[in-house]
């Protein structure tokens, strides 16, 4: 905005500002921000946009700015519309505004993206779904619709089960990115609603038993790119996911992120080859993360090396894997393509591979044997951009791990988490509270959210007077106390936390 404002009206530069080469490369991002000077915004809408409107192909707007910006010009070449902080109810009003869309925007827009900071009636799936049905009906020539932002948070959840077969139907839509309630919603969308779909990116939130419902099981020859991500544990891999993949006979790119509950065998390269790849002869790219939980009642003889040797097909590329014994009766197994592109991974343990995971920001750690100090040093190195960490382990650390850099005569490396903002100790041994909050062992310069048992916090901080743990706590803004025992009284803890020492220790905290 500032650049165009400085060029428009200046002799010799005015034509440059309107040149197609200059304006075509711009995504105009308009936000309802008080910091924007109102007079500049008025001039931009009244003078600048009308002069460059022929060259504008993409607009990026907040919902609250749609009315103002779209009324400022005709935009005959506008085909892409990206909306962030999407207000479903407000946008529904615009769809019925004949004056606002008098310039045939409803026919022009072929590319619609609704970014992840969704604002609407979250949790009311039916009402949210109706809004998106209206969007697809309103934009008559829509080829691309995306309502997925970040991996999980902020995505509106849609459901198409039990809706008339004539809803959410399009013969033009070729690319859809959407979050749905269940796997059956995914099957519903592929049941003749969107026959021209070539790219389908779907996140599934819940696992539900709708097995009695019947869906079309014909091949999907138009689908070239498919991405399926489960947010929760599922047992649908063998009986639903694999049969669906086999229908995609012309698939070229496949992304699969899934955590399988209580499977009696691991998913290795041989099984993927026989169950999936043999049916996808045109597949060029296969990116995946598969986590399987199994019981020690089933024989487990494979090692990490043996499992990796099963991935001989060149389509797999480089592979990483890890077997983690959670306790005496359960095993968690991870296998994934490298580089790892996802921002989450299932809970890992001591045996996780020494791979650098540059994209992972949220992580849980869980094991049946103790996490020693070296584990947390390695964790910080392998997950350099980690922002959220959950620790679950009831086993005490060894004596060596309880030493610090000040009382250990041997080499001692401090674990440094430069980006960690959220730390959750879950139901874990107090040694890990000491491990993470003691600055001689761990540095947490950005920690702002802390979930912890009050008594453990009080003990480790020596009743909020200990200097060794003060620095890692000083920036904490949100404190959430939970009880290790059902008879603990959190109200008493809140009252006790009003002490002078507590406030000095957590000057920014909000209980």
| Residue 28: pLDDT over 70 | no
Domain that holds residue 22: 1-57
Q: What does residue 145 show for φ and ψ, rounded to 5 degrees? A: -135, 125
Is residue 360 located within the same domain as residue 506? Answer: yes
Does any domain span residue 79? no
Q: Can you tell me the distance from the alpha carbon of 33 to that of 31, in angstroms, rounded to the nearest whole number?
A: 5
* C-alpha separations of 105 from 70, 80, 83, 347 in Å: 9, 10, 15, 47
What is the CA angle 418-424-427, rounded to 5? Answer: 145
82, part of any domain: no
Tell me, yes or no, whether 305 and 422 share the same domain.
no
Out of 303, 318, 342, a domain closes at: 342
Question: pLDDT higher for 493 or 191?
Answer: 191
Helix (H, G, I), strand (E, B) or coil at 308: helix
Structure tokens that stand for 426 in this block: 């879950």
Highest mean pLDDT among 74-88, 123-137, 246-260: 246-260
Which of 125-139, 234-248, 495-509 is modeled with the greatest confidence?
A: 234-248
Q: Which of 161-165, 325-329, 341-345 has the highest mean pLDDT?
A: 341-345
Is pLDDT above 80 for 41? Answer: no
Among 14, 37, 57, identify where a domain stops: 57
Say yes or no: 287 and 392 in one domain. Answer: no
- Residues 360 and 443 occupy one common structural domain: yes
Instruction: Examine the domain organization and report whether 414 and 482 are in the same domain.
Output: yes
- Token readout for 312 is 């001989």
Using pLDDT thresholds of 50, 70 and 90, give the confidence band for residue 330. Answer: confident
Same domain for 462 and 373: yes
Q: Does the pLDDT value for residue 39 go beyond 70?
A: yes
Q: Which of 262, 232, 395 is nearest to 333 (CA)?
A: 262
In a domain, 205, yes or no: no
Q: Determine the pLDDT at residue 122.
A: 46
**Mean pLDDT, residues 35-51 taken together:** 77
* More confidently predicted of 105 and 456: 456
pLDDT confidence of residue 117: 53
- % of residues, the chain, pLDDT over 90: 44
Which span out of 104-108, 117-121, 284-288 was modeled with the highest average pLDDT? 284-288
Which of 298, 325, 342 is the endpoint of a domain? Answer: 342
Looking at the structure, tell me whether residues 387 and 411 fall in a common domain: yes
The predicted structure's pLDDT at residue 121? 47
Looking at the fold, whether 325 and 314 belong to one and the same domain comes out as yes
Please list, residue by residue across 397-409, b when 16 or more beta carbons sit within 10 angstroms of its beta carbon and e when fewer do. Answer: beeebbbbeeeee
Q: Is residue 270 part of a domain?
A: yes
Confidence of residue 333 (pLDDT cuts 50, 70, 90): confident
The one-character DSSP state at 45 is: I
- The answer to whether position 435 is within a domain reads yes
Domains held by the chain: number: 3
Query: What are the phi and psi torsion angles at 73 (to 5°)?
Result: -160, 175
Residue 277 sits in the same domain as residue 367:
no
Q: What is the pLDDT of residues 438-457, one digit of tens each?
A: 999 999 999 999 999 999 99
Q: Is residue 115 part of a domain?
A: no
Whether residue 371 sits in one domain with residue 490: yes
Location of structure tokens 């850099």: 405
pLDDT of 44 higher than 70: yes
Distance CA 371, CA 368 (A): 9
Shared domain check, 329 and 476: no
Structure tokens at 385: 């951009």
pTM: 0.84
Worst-scoring range by mean pLDDT, 24-38, 135-149, 489-503? Answer: 24-38
């Amino acid at each position: 905005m500032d650049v165009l404002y400085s060029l428009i009206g200046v002799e010799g530069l005015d034509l440059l500002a309107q040149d197609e080469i200059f304006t075509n490369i711009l995504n105009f991002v308009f936000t309802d921000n008080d910091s924007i000077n109102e007079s500049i915004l008025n001039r931009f809408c009244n003078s600048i946009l009308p002069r460059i409107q022929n060259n504008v192909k993409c607009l990026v707007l907040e919902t609250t700015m749609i009315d103002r910006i779209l009324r400022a010009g005709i935009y005959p070449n506008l085909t892409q519309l990206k909306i962030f902080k999407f207000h479903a109810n407000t946008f529904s009003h615009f769809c019925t505004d004949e004056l606002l869309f008098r310039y045939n925007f409803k026919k022009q827009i072929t590319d619609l993206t609704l970014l992840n900071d969704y604002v609407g009636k979250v949790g009311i799936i039916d009402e949210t779904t109706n809004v998106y049905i209206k969007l697809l009906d309103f934009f008559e020539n829509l080829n691309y619709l995306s309502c997925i932002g970040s991996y999980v948070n902020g995505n509106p959840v849609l459901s198409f089960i039990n809706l008339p077969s004539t809803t959410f139907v399009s013969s033009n839509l070729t690319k859809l990115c959407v979050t749905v309630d269940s796997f059956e919603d995914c099957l519903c969308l592929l049941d003749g609603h969107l026959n021209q779909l070539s790219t389908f990116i779907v996140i599934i939130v819940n696992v539900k038993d709708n097995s009695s419902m019947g869906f079309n099981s014909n091949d999907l020859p138009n689908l070239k790119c498919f991405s399926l991500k489960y947010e929760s544990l599922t047992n649908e891999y063998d009986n639903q996911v694999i049969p669906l993949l086999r229908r995609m006979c012309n698939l070229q790119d496949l992304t699969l992120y899934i955590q399988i509950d209580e499977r009696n065998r691991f998913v290795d390269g041989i099984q993927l080859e026989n169950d999936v790849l043999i049916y996808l002869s045109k597949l060029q790219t296969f990116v995946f993360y598969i986590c399987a939980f199994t019981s020690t009642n089933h024989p487990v003889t494979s090692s990490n090396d043996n499992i990796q040797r099963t991935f001989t097909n060149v389509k797999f590329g480089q592979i990483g894997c890890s077997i983690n014994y959670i306790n005496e009766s359960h095993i968690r197994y991870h296998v994934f393509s490298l580089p790892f592109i996802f921002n989450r991974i299932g809970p890992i343990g001591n045996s996780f591979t020494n791979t650098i995971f540059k994209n992972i920001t949220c992580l849980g750690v869980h094991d049946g044997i103790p996490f020693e100090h070296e584990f947390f040093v390695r964790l910080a190195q392998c997950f350099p951009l980690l922002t959220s960490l959950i620790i679950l382990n009831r086993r005490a650390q060894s004596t060596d791990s309880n030493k610090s850099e000040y009382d250990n005569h041997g080499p001692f490396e401090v674990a440094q988490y430069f980006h960690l903002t959220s730390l959750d100790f879950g139901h874990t041994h107090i040694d890990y509270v000491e491990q993470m909050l003691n600055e001689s062992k761990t540095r947490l310069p950005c920690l702002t959210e802390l979930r912890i048992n009050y008594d453990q916090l009080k003990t480790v901080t020596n009743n909020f007077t200990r200097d060794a743990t003060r620095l890692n706590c000083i920036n904490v803004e949100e404190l959430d106390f939970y009880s290790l025992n059902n008879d603990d009284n959190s109200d008493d803890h809140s009252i006790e936390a009003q002490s002078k020492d507590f406030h000095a220790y957590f000057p920014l905290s909000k209980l």
